[in-house]
């Protein structure tokens, strides 16, 4: 089956032409974030950032899991699409060509590179035909807006390319309607206006072409007070004078190079026949790939209305010269007076050219003899500017060292275009001469692979795509490194791609990236030429920052490394950025690309002593630890920490204004913090590794950064074991256990927690013993070993009570109460939870109080103490509203709805459940929404006018009626009209869908009791829908889940649900046996509502078997319990039975 995805327009998916239901906009947003990285992993954090931006809700991670789960279901019919979960993210495996954006980019790239214009036009038109509207329509976050803007630029570039190709092919008549529409949308795009004017002129409509020019000129004057640029003015002049060279010559275009734009173009001018025309461009680079965005920016240099000077800057090996020469060949015929090229040798083994030497070369190129060229810079510059005044020249000033080397070489008029390439940004030229700056970064992954393929061959790269992608990464996506690697592969046909990658990984990648016999071609040689030009202080900063364990760093972090204040550090970083030895990657954040980092480390090993490097990294580690410590104090003061008696750990100045700022810092530095733990463990900073790991594990655990949590725990644990530090070993075992718990690997989590408890006992660290025991209790609870959980919680509570740790004691007692409740020890559960509420209230732990009130209400509900349950839940709701605890409020409202439902107060249930659902939707809390939907669906069914008789006959309750009426028409559905029957079936279907979704989300979030309760509702729905076999399967699943988790109370209720299904299947004997087997557990646990429901089903089973006396006895007992617990059944479900019912 063929699947396709669209990003242009609304995000959609189609299977064999049929549109799939992808859900609401936020869910489509998640799919878009994965589609744009098709077949590449996207971390959970990045998905959250892309979907919500800086305003992500607290429960974004859980909500995201819900969206992904729904998307996985929606895409399940598409066999070629796989949405997989990775340790720290997700990957959507899908063919590139099935996603419109990737197909568009591939086709646009093919069009730009094609040597045949017919083929190029077909490709670019196919690309543009994929656009169905604005990209990512209806989605609005900083990420989508940035992507939309980028894609729109790509579309506009493709449209301009399409028009250029069509004009070359003589398709001007066909173009006019299209260009007219585009010009109406972009009336001040002078390149587009020029294309339209040329198409009109070539179609014989000279007057209309001139009118378009006049309209553009007037609009520019009225809105901006300026005239059209020189290129458009020149085209206007040529059209006005009926310039013959504007006539299309299709034959000429057939012989063009793929690197050239054939004549004539709108801006071309006739050559000056009275002087020699210089053609000094080097040969175009072979196998040039990518850089479409930068090529479009260079095209703008031609259209500039001011002095058209462009500074093309970038680090060594980025392909600046190759790009400049490739572009120059594409546009050479737009410069009929020639092209000049001079290598200024700013970064070469030889001395840089002096301005006068460069001017001499330029003037020679213009036909001047040596005798005619003045030896003084100023005079030679004046002669040069006079010679090219008014001419259409392209001047490439390659490899400039600084702005002073270039200034005298700039033309004096706007008719010539100058492109300067440099490893410096040359901000002086931008500020004083108004130059346009283009910074050349690394290639995109796809462009890198294309370059490797072009040189090494398709066979090599297609056979080992994973190794090819890894090679591109090892080359840091740098063109020079990629070309060297591909050349080395080409020269050794017996070397496999994976083998070569392995060599680079094992050895020194920089040393390996050189061409044998040509040391000047090596990547490291290129870097060294830049490094040698730096001041000593800047070189030192380059070296030390390369050694620092940080993928990217802020100004304060860099200041810690180089031991400098903020202003001095900023100056050092600015100098490195200007030299393209360092990249800006955000506000006040900087990073190396991988090869430059390797080079910096190599230079540090050569030039610095080990003591200097150790001190520099130590300063950074201490800076990280100070801030991580304060984050813990501000955001996680209730969590366990290693004792720290170091003098430097006390009386530290505040680093953050509040916990929000601290958490924002952690989010920004997370990868660096993990890297710092690894670095410290492997160097002379072992203690720093476990101190830092202990300081950040709270943040990583709270954010479910499972892979990072496991990394720091295992790394620091190894360091602590080497040092023989018992307390540190205990803390790191707990850290590893936290990671395994997040990954639901409970056995491993228990193993490490038990080890941590033993080590904490050995170290005499009682608070850690109690904390570990509490965690063991939680994990045994999750595994269904409730008796073990109760034992652990009980010992933990005793230790915490002895330590006077009341806040933590309240949490443990709450957990103990929950475990006892699920064991069916409801009285004991209520006692522990009541104590937990009292302690939470006394210590003003409002969050803990709110949660414990909900749990206490749950125990009361199971005990059928409904009035007490309602009182607890209303108090919890008030607290959560007062302190902004939205998640607790949603949970309390949900439980309140369930309690009202058990009482038969359906209107109150609907009000509470609707409130819970509305809050969940507002907070984008998917699990909360699903949980609220289950009682809503259940009550809507029960209050439906068609449900009364069905419920009385089929479900537990105070009423009784034979489940298998023999009188025709006595089945409720027999008396419903066709339309009413359809509506009833629709209500049943919607209820089942909502309950299935709620059960699935409960299972994914490991809420076993919650899942089982929803399964009971779902089984009832299937019974009412006449799908008793499905109801039986659901009840069996609930029973297995309850039995596996040691949930005695729920296991008994599942027997009643299974009995209900068996009764609906016409097997009353089996139903009676199951209901009877449930009764002892209901009685022993004090589950009064479960007791009554089992008796009710037993009564119905006896009635179906013809045992009237037994049925009457069971019904009377059920009604007595229902009355005792205050079950106020409405007339719809519990009318008084007639005497002859029994």
Going from the C-alpha of 768 to that of each of 2, 185, 747, 757, 765, the distances in angstroms are 57, 68, 20, 7, 6
Nearest to 682 by CA among 608, 617, 756: 617
pTM: 0.57
Whether the CB-CB separation of 420 and 310 falls below 8 Å is answered with yes
- Judged by average pLDDT, the poorest of 64-73, 167-176, 177-186 is 64-73
**Residue 94, token pair as written in the block:** 């899908």
Kindly write down the DSSP assignment for every residue of 341-390, as one continuous string: EEE--TTSSSPPPPHHHHHHHHHHHTT--GGGS-SSHHHHHHHHHHHHTT
Instruction: Give the Cα separation of 1087 and 1053 in Å (integer).
Output: 9
Pick the residue with more confidence: 1019 or 290? 1019
Question: 């063991």: which residue's tokens?
Answer: 776
- Packing angle between helix 44-52 and helix 142-168, nearest 10 degrees? 80
**Long-range contact pairs involving 750-755 (C-beta distance under 8 Å, separation at least 24):** 750/776, 750/779, 750/780, 750/783, 753/779, 755/730
Q: Which residues are CB-neighbours of 987 under 8 A, at least 6 positions away?
A: 940, 941, 944
Nearest to 267 by CA among 396, 417, 384: 417
pLDDT for 919 equals 85
Q: Coil, strand or helix: which one is 423?
A: coil
pLDDT digits (tens, 9 = 90+) for 303-359: 655 558 899 998 877 888 889 998 998 888 888 889 999 989 887 656 788 898 899
Instruction: Give the Cα separation of 380 and 313 in Å (integer).
Output: 27
**How buried is 224 (Cβ within 10 angstroms: 0-12 exposed, 13-18 middle, 19+ buried)?**
exposed
Whether the CB-CB separation of 959 and 1135 falls below 8 Å is answered with yes
pLDDT for 511 equals 54
Instruction: With residue 186 as reference, give the H or E element that holds it.
Output: none
The three-point CA angle 620-624-628 to 5° equals: 170
Pick the residue with more confidence: 985 or 977? 985
pLDDT digits (tens, 9 = 90+) for 35-91: 998 888 888 888 988 988 877 765 577 678 778 877 887 888 888 888 887 767 888
Instruction: Give the Cα separation of 782 and 703 in Å (integer).
Output: 20
Q: Tell whether omega for the bond before 21 is within 30 degrees of 0, i.e. cis.
A: no
Question: 């729905």: which residue's tokens?
Answer: 1021
Nearest to 408 by CA among 355, 449, 476: 355
Instruction: Give the Cα separation of 1098 and 1103 in Å (integer).
Output: 9
Instruction: Give the Cα separation of 593 and 541 in Å (integer).
Output: 16
pLDDT digits (tens, 9 = 90+) for 411-461: 887 788 999 999 888 888 888 888 888 988 888 888 888 888 888 888 788
- Judged by average pLDDT, the poorest of 185-189, 258-262, 1027-1031 is 258-262
What is the overall mean pLDDT for the chain? 84
What is the mean predicted confidence (pLDDT) over 88-117?
Answer: 87
Q: Coil, strand or helix: which one is 307?
A: coil
pLDDT digits (tens, 9 = 90+) for 881-936: 888 888 889 989 989 998 998 888 888 988 998 898 888 777 767 667 777 777 88
pLDDT digits (tens, 9 = 90+) for 1032-1050: 999 999 999 888 877 888 8
DSSP H helices in 548-641:
555-562, 566-578, 594-607, 610-635
Strands, E assignment, 810-902: none
| Maximum C-alpha span of the chain | 130
Instruction: With residue 1066 as reference, give the H or E element that holds it.
Output: none
The answer, yes or no, to whether residue 196 has pLDDT greater than 90, is yes
Going from the C-alpha of 564 to that of each of 468, 592, 655, the distances in angstroms are 42, 20, 18
**Cα 57 vs. chain centroid, distance in angstroms?**
15
Strands 12-15 and 3-6: antiparallel
pLDDT digits (tens, 9 = 90+) for 1045-1089: 778 888 999 999 999 999 999 999 999 999 999 999 999 888 888
Read off the pLDDT band of 695 (50, 70, 90): very high
Strands 436-440 and 89-93: unpaired
The three-point CA angle 301-413-343 to 5° equals: 65
Going from the C-alpha of 514 to that of each of 33, 442, 506, 723, the distances in angstroms are 38, 19, 16, 43
pLDDT for 1135 equals 36
For residues 898, 904, 907, 910, the Cα torsion angle rounded to the nearest 10 degrees is 20
3-state secondary structure 945-1007: CCCHHHHHHHCCCCCCCCCCCCCCCCCHHHHCCHHHHHHHHHHHHHHHHHHHHHHHHHHHCCC
Read off the pLDDT band of 968 (50, 70, 90): very low
Read off the pLDDT band of 1136 (50, 70, 90): very low
**Residue 1045, token pair as written in the block:** 């988790």
Nearest to 324 by CA among 422, 430, 229, 230: 422
Read off the pLDDT band of 734 (50, 70, 90): very high
Whether the CB-CB separation of 676 and 642 falls below 8 Å is answered with no
pLDDT for 1 equals 61
The answer, yes or no, to whether residue 536 has pLDDT greater than 50, is yes
User: Across the strands, what pairs with 13?
Assistant: 5
pLDDT for 77 equals 87
Q: Which of 143-152, 579-588, 1126-1135 has the highest mean pLDDT?
A: 143-152
Q: Which residues are CB-neighbours of 938 under 8 A, at least 6 positions away?
A: 901, 991, 995, 1017, 1020, 1021
Whether the CB-CB separation of 258 and 111 falls below 8 Å is answered with no
pLDDT for 512 equals 56
What is the mean predicted confidence (pLDDT) over 549-559?
Answer: 87
Whether the CB-CB separation of 42 and 54 falls below 8 Å is answered with no
Q: In what order do the strands lie in the sheet with 42-43?
A: 42-43, 89-93, 82-86
Question: 């699903």: which residue's tokens?
Answer: 930
Whether the CB-CB separation of 196 and 176 falls below 8 Å is answered with yes
Whether the CB-CB separation of 150 and 142 falls below 8 Å is answered with no
pLDDT for 688 equals 94
Whether the CB-CB separation of 88 and 44 falls below 8 Å is answered with yes
The answer, yes or no, to whether residue 879 has pLDDT greater than 60, is yes
pLDDT digits (tens, 9 = 90+) for 612-657: 888 888 999 999 999 999 998 888 887 889 988 766 555 566 778 8
Whether the CB-CB separation of 1101 and 1072 falls below 8 Å is answered with yes
């Amino acid at each position: 089956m063929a699947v396709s995805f669209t990003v242009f327009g609304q995000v959609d998916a189609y299977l064999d032409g049929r549109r799939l239901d992808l859900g609401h906009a936020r869910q489509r947003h998640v799919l878009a974030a994965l589609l744009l990285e098709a077949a590449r992993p996207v971390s959970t954090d990045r998905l959250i950032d892309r979907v919500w931006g800086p305003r992500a809700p607290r429960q974004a991670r859980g909500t995201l899991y819900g969206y992904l789960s729904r998307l996985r279901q929606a895409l399940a019919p598409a066999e070629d699409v796989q949405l997989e979960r990775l340790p720290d993210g997700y990957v959507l495996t899908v063919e590139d060509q099935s996603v419109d954006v990737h197909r568009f980019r591939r086709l646009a790239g093919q069009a730009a590179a094609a040597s045949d214009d017919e083929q190029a036009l077909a490709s670019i038109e196919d690309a543009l035909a994929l656009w169905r509207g604005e990209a990512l329509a209806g989605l609005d976050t900083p990420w989508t807006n940035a992507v939309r803007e980028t894609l729109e630029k790509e579309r506009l570039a493709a449209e301009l390319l399409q028009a250029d190709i069509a004009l070359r092919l003589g398709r001007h008549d066909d173009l006019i309607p299209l260009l007219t529409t585009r010009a109406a949308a972009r009336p001040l795009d002078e390149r587009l206006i020029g294309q339209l004017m040329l198409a009109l002129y070539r179609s014989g409509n000279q007057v209309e072409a001139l009118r378009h020019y006049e309209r553009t000129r007037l609009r520019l004057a009225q809105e901006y007070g300026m005239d059209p640029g020189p290129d458009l003015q020149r085209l206007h002049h040529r059209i006005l004078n009926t310039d013959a060279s504007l006539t299309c010559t299709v034959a000429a275009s057939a012989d063009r190079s793929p690197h050239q734009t054939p004549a004539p173009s709108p801006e071309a001018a006739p050559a000056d026949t009275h002087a020699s025309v210089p053609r000094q461009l080097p040969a175009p680079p072979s196998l040039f790939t990518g850089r479409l965005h930068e090529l479009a920016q260079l095209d703008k240099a031609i259209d500039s209305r001011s002095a058209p000077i462009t500074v093309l800057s970038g680090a060594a090996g980025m392909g600046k010269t190759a790009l400049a020469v490739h572009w120059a060949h594409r546009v050479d015929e737009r410069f009929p007076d020639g092209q000049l090229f001079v290598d200024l040798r700013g970064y070469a083994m030889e001395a840089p050219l002096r301005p006068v030497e460069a001017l001499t070369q330029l003037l020679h190129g213009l036909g001047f003899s040596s005798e005619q060229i003045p030896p003084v810079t100023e005079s030679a510059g004046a002669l040069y500017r006079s010679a090219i005044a008014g001419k259409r020249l392209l001047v490439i000033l390659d490899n400039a060292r600084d702005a002073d080397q270039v200034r005298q070489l700039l033309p004096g008029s706007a008719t010539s275009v100058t492109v300067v390439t440099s490893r410096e940004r040359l901000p002086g030229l931008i500020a004083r001469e108004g130059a346009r700056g283009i910074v050349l970064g690394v290639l995109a992954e796809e462009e890198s692979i294309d370059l490797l393929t072009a040189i090494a061959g398709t066979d090599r790269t297609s056979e080992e795509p994973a190794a090819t992608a890894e090679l591109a990464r090892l080359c840091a996506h740098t063109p020079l490194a990629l070309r060297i690697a591909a050349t080395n592969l080409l020269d050794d046909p017996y070397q496999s791609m994976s083998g070569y990658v392995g060599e680079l990984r094992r050895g020194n990648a920089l040393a390996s990236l050189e061409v044998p016999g040509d040391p000047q071609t090596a990547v490291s040689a290129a870097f060294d030429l830049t490094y040698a030009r730096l001041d000593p202080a800047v070189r030192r900063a380059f070296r030390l920052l390369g050694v620092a364990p940080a993928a990217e760093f802020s100004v304060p972090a860099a200041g810690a490394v180089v031991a400098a204040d903020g202003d001095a550090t900023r100056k050092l970083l600015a100098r490195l950025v200007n030299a393209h030895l360092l990249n800006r990657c955000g506000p006040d954040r900087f990073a190396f690309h991988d090869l430059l980092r390797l080079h910096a480390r190599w230079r540090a090993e050569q030039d610095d002593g080990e003591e200097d490097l150790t001190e520099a990294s130590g300063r950074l580690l201490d800076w990280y630890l100070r801030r991580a410590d304060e984050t813990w104090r501000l955001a996680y003061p209730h969590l366990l920490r290693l004792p720290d008696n170091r003098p430097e750990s006390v009386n530290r100045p505040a680093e953050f204004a509040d916990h929000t700022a601290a958490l924002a810092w952690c989010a920004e530095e997370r990868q660096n913090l993990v890297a710092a733990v690894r670095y410290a463990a492997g160097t002379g900073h072992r203690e720093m590794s476990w101190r830092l790991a202990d300081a950040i594990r709270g943040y990583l655990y709270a954010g479910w950064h499972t892979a990072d949590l496991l990394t720091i725990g295992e790394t620091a644990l190894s360091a602590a074991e080497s040092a023989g530090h018992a307390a540190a070993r205990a803390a790191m075992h707990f850290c590893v256990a936290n990671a395994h718990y997040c990954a639901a690997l409970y056995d491993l989590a228990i193993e490490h927690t038990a080890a941590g408890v033993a080590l904490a006992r050995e170290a005499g660290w009682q608070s850690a013993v109690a904390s570990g025991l509490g965690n063991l209790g939680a994990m045994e609870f999750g595994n269904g070993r409730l008796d073990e959980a109760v034992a652990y919680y009980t010992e933990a509570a005793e230790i915490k009570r002895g330590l006077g740790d009341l806040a933590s004691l309240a949490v443990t007692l709450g957990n103990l109460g929950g475990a006892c409740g699920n064991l069916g020890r409801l009285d004991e559960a209520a006692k522990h939870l009541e104590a937990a509420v009292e302690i939470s209230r006394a210590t003003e732990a409002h969050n803990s109080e709110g949660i414990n009130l909900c749990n206490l209400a749950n125990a009361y509900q199971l005990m059928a103490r409904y009035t007490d349950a309602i009182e607890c839940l209303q108090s919890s709701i008030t607290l959560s509203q007062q302190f902004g605890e939205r998640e607790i409020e949603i949970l309390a409202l949900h439980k309140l709805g369930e309690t009202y439902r058990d009482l038969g107060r359906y209107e109150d249930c609907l009000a509470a459940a609707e409130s819970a659902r509305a809050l969940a939707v507002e907070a984008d809390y998917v699990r909360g929404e699903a949980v609220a939907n289950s009682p809503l669906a259940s009550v809507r069914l029960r209050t439906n006018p068609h449900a009364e008789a069905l419920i009385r006959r089929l479900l537990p309750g105070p009423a009784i009626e034979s489940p298998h009426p023999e009188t025709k028409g006595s089945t409720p559905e027999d008396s419903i009209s066709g339309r009413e029957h359809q509506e009833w079936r629709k209500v049943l279907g919607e209820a089942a869908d909502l309950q299935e979704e709620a059960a699935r989300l409960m299972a994914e979030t490991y809420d076993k009791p919650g899942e089982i309760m929803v399964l009971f509702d779902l089984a009832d729905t299937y019974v009412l829908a006449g799908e008793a076999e499905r109801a039986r399967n659901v009840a069996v699943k609930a029973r297995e889940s309850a039995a596996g988790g040691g949930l005695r109370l729920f296991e008994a209720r599942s027997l009643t649900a299974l009995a209900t299904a068996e009764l609906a299947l016409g097997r009353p004997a089996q139903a009676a046996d199951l209901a009877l087997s449930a009764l002892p557990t209901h009685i022993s646990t004090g589950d009064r509502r479960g007791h009554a429901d089992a008796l009710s089903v037993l009564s119905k089973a006896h009635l179906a078997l013809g045992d009237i006396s037994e049925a009457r006895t069971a019904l009377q007992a059920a009604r007595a319990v229902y009355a005792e617990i205050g079950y106020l059944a409405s007339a719809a479900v519990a009318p008084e039975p007639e005497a002859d019912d029994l």
